[in-house]
């Protein structure tokens, strides 16, 4: 049981002298008052199959795309434009050319199909080491087809989240063997560049745990030419330029440093807290899903602009594990693990 505690509203700005990027980097500490968080009550989407193994969720246009781990097909598409209707299941499990082992949707890759009802998005298949482009069409007979299958370049490795800028630059991470917070890969010249580990910590992680200690969620903004990194074990949000220069780092409350310096039989030491659960770069705002450890069985969504200014905070009435954002209609969609069904429910939250 976590004990609810008051956090006071302060905004402190500290300009640091030492930094690990070539340009000036600014640190900010944002401490948030409970009254600054609006409590949101969720509405369950009843079109969801209760016998599910949902692990991730995306939103585009009027569709929810859910990743499912333990079924014949990896993906389910729901149309939520009116109520909620399951449209299609696809992404057959297997090792064939149009089949998938363990696919993850690539952040920021969804785009509209000209004059058609549907969308195109990219997948990163960890097991088969390939990147695929998939087109979903919602017609009389909804269908999904693989347009492109490309093998991963062996120069970039690992990680479960990838992002592509339109110029082809790939942004990724490797929480097992990484040599920095994230990497950038230029496919034209096949150059891989690691961005240094940040921030430094008082207790240096064990060599085989360092990359894990800096595990994070990453999303990009093509419009703002930014890379946003939400750190899992630090209460920290990092703002990078599209070429990997650290511009700003924001902590929620006093900075927290995870201690991965002790040998333990656990992959993640028991005394290490989890903070960020996800990050989404919207058109004008950045949305972070985070556990602030202020109350039991809830999750927080925080909103920043691309200058790093705190805009708003929300608290959900459920402990959400993954989320998606419909900016146009002012909605969050969240996955909630329900132990009664040993599966996930999807809840919508109105924030505008």
Q: Which helix H or strand E contains 326, and what residues bound it?
A: strand 320-326
| CATH assignment at residue 93 | 2.120.10
**Which pLDDT belongs to residue 144?**
94
**Which pLDDT belongs to residue 25?**
63
**Which pLDDT belongs to residue 158?**
64
And the tokens for 229?
């990194």
DSSP line for 247-278: EEEEEESS-------S--SSSS-TTPPP-EEE
In the numeric block, the tokens 């070429």 are attached to: 243
- Would residue 31 count as lying in a domain? no
The C-alpha atoms of residue 331 and residue 318 are separated, in whole angstroms, by 15
- Would residue 11 count as lying in a domain? no
**Which pLDDT belongs to residue 1?**
43
Which segment of 51-60, 158-167, 246-255, 315-324 scores lowest on mean pLDDT? 158-167
Average pLDDT over residues 235-249: 96
Give the number of domains in the chain: 1
- Would residue 14 count as lying in a domain? no
CB 43 within 8 A of CB 348: yes
The C-alpha atoms of residue 106 and residue 125 are separated, in whole angstroms, by 10
For 140-197, the pLDDT digits (tens) are 899 999 999 988 888 876 667 789 999 989 999 998 889 999 999 999 999 999 999 9
Structure-model confidence comparison of residues 211 and 21, the more confident one: 211
Average pLDDT over residues 249-272: 93
- Would residue 284 count as lying in a domain? yes
- Would residue 120 count as lying in a domain? yes
Q: Write out the residue range of the structural domain in which residue 299 sits.
A: 38-229+257-350
In the numeric block, the tokens 């949707």 are attached to: 105
- Would residue 213 count as lying in a domain? yes
CA-wise closest residue to 56 among 67, 45, 65: 67
User: Residue 28 pairs with which residues in a beta bridge?
Assistant: 13, 250
Q: Could you tell me the pTM of the whole model?
A: 0.90
DSSP 179: S
- Would residue 247 count as lying in a domain? no
């Amino acid at each position: 049981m976590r004990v609810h505690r008051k956090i006071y509203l302060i905004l402190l700005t500290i300009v640091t002298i030492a930094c690990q990027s070539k340009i000036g980097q600014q640190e900010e500490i944002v401490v948030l008052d409970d009254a600054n968080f609006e409590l949101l009550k969720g509405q369950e989407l009843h079109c969801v199959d209760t016998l599910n193994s949902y692990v991730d969720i995306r939103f585009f246009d009027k569709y929810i795309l859910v990743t499912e781990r333990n079924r014949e097909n990896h993906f389910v598409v729901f149309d939520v434009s009116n109520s909620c209707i399951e449209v299609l299941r696809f992404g057959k499990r297997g090792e064939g050319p149009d089949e998938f082992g363990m696919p993850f949707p690539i952040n920021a890759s969804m785009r509209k199909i000209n004059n058609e009802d549907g969308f195109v998005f990219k997948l990163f298949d960890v097991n088969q080491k390939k990147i695929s482009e998939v087109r979903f069409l919602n017609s009389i007979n909804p269908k999904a087809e693989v347009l492109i299958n490309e093998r991963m370049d062996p120069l970039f490795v690992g990680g479960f989240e990838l992002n592509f800028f339109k110029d082809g630059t790939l942004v990724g991470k490797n929480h097992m063997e990484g040599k920095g917070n994230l990497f950038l890969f230029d496919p034209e010249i096949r150059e891989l560049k690691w961005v240094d580990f940040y921030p430094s910590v008082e207790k240096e992680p064990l060599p085989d745990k360092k990359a894990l200690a800096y595990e994070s969620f990453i999303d990009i903004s093509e419009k703002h030419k930014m890379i946003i990194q939400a750190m899992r074990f630090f209460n920290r949000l990092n703002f990078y330029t599209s070429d990997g220069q650290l511009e700003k780092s924001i902590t929620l409350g006093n900075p927290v440093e995870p201690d991965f310096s002790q040998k333990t039989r656990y992959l993640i030491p028991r005394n290490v807290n989890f903070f960020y659960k996800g990050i989404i770069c919207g058109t004008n705002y950045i949305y972070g899903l985070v556990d602030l450890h202020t109350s039991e069985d809830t999750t927080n969504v925080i909103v920043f602009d691309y200058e790093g200014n705190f805009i708003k905070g929300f608290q959900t009435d459920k402990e959400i594990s993954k989320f998606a954002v419909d900016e146009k209609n002012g909605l969050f969609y969240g996955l909630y693990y329900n132990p009664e069904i040993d599966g996930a429910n999807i809840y919508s939250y109105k924030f505008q």
